[in-house]
């Protein structure tokens, strides 16, 4: 079983719950329709990884996301997530109206930083994510830009599926997605207002 670190403690999520099409400008860059309800899909525990890897055959695209650890349907930790996607495979599946698992749920497709505990005085609506690739700002995620806010997503998920304690919620990606290249340097930065909560750097393998 794959694990993550929350304040240095090893925890093992049963799954990663992901939200698609939650930022209007990202929807536009992929020529998708704006959804009338949250687009929910799941990555299995086997998708969780600590490193970003390219694929020998399929091009991998990155999608940076504000991510939360869930306990008792509440957020207890926050971290940086990368929803890695086989975009060309996904396009073929979408054209055939088939499920996305081959493009979204493969091993190593959910890359995470360490997570930190959310303090009681942290306003989660102030949390924002910045992704730099090779020192250039590439993506920026904020609550204001989300169509569906995190607690709305939890309620939508609970209507048909349970969150197990220590599961992860990925809240969707803003515009600026693109191809992962071997040797690229990815740096994710998570802020609460102007306070840096955590930073994580990966070199693509």
**Quick check: 177 pLDDT over 80?**
yes
List beta partners, residue 205.
none
Residue 134, C-beta contacts closer than 8 angstroms, at least 6 positions apart: 184, 185
Confidence of residue 27 (pLDDT cuts 50, 70, 90): low
Distance CA 168, CA 16 (A): 5
**Quick check: 101 pLDDT over 70?**
yes
**Quick check: 188 pLDDT over 90?**
yes
CB 53 within 8 A of CB 26: no
Distance CA 101, CA 45 (A): 13
Report pLDDT digits (tens) over 115-165: 999 977 778 899 999 999 999 999 999 998 899 999 999 999 999 999 999
> How would you class 145 by CB atoms within 10 Å of its CB: exposed for 0-12, middle for 13-18, buried for 19 or more?
middle
Least confident of 76-80, 172-176, 179-183, 196-200: 172-176
pLDDT at 29: 64
Give me the residue label for tokens 């806010």: 149
pLDDT at 20: 87
What string of H, E and C letters represents the secondary structure of 110-146? EEECCEEECCCCCCHHHEEEEEEECCEEEEEEEHHHE
Q: Give residue limits of the domains in the chain.
A: 4-126+141-180
pLDDT at 31: 65
Report pLDDT digits (tens) over 77-99: 999 999 999 999 988 988 899 89
pLDDT at 26: 63
The CATH number that domain 4-126+141-180 falls under is 3.90.850.10
Nearest to 129 by CA among 192, 77, 40: 192
pLDDT at 21: 85
**Quick check: 33 pLDDT over 80?**
no
């Amino acid at each position: 079983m794959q694990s993550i670190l929350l304040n240095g403690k090893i925890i093992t999520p049963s799954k990663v719950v992901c939200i698609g099409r939650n930022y209007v400008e990202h929807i536009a860059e992929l020529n998708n329709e704006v959804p009338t309800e949250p687009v929910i899909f799941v990555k299995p525990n086997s998708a969780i990884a600590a490193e970003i890897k390219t694929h020998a055959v399929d091009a991998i695209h990155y999608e940076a996301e504000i991510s939360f650890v869930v306990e008792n349907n509440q957020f207890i930790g926050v971290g940086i997530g990368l929803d890695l996607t086989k975009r060309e495979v996904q396009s073929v599946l979408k054209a055939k109206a088939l499920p996305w698992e081959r493009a979204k749920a493969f091993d190593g497709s959910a890359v995470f930083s360490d997570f930190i505990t959310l303090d009681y005085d942290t306003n989660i609506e102030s949390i924002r994510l910045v992704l730099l690739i090779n020192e250039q700002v590439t993506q920026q995620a904020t609550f204001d830009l989300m169509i569906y806010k995190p607690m709305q997503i939890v309620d939508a998920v609970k209507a048909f599926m349970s969150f197990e304690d220590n599961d992860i919620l990925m809240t969707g990606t803003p515009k600026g997605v693109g191809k992962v290249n071997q040797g690229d340097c990815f740096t994710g930065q998570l802020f609460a207002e102007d306070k840096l909560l955590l930073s994580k750097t990966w070199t693509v393998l």
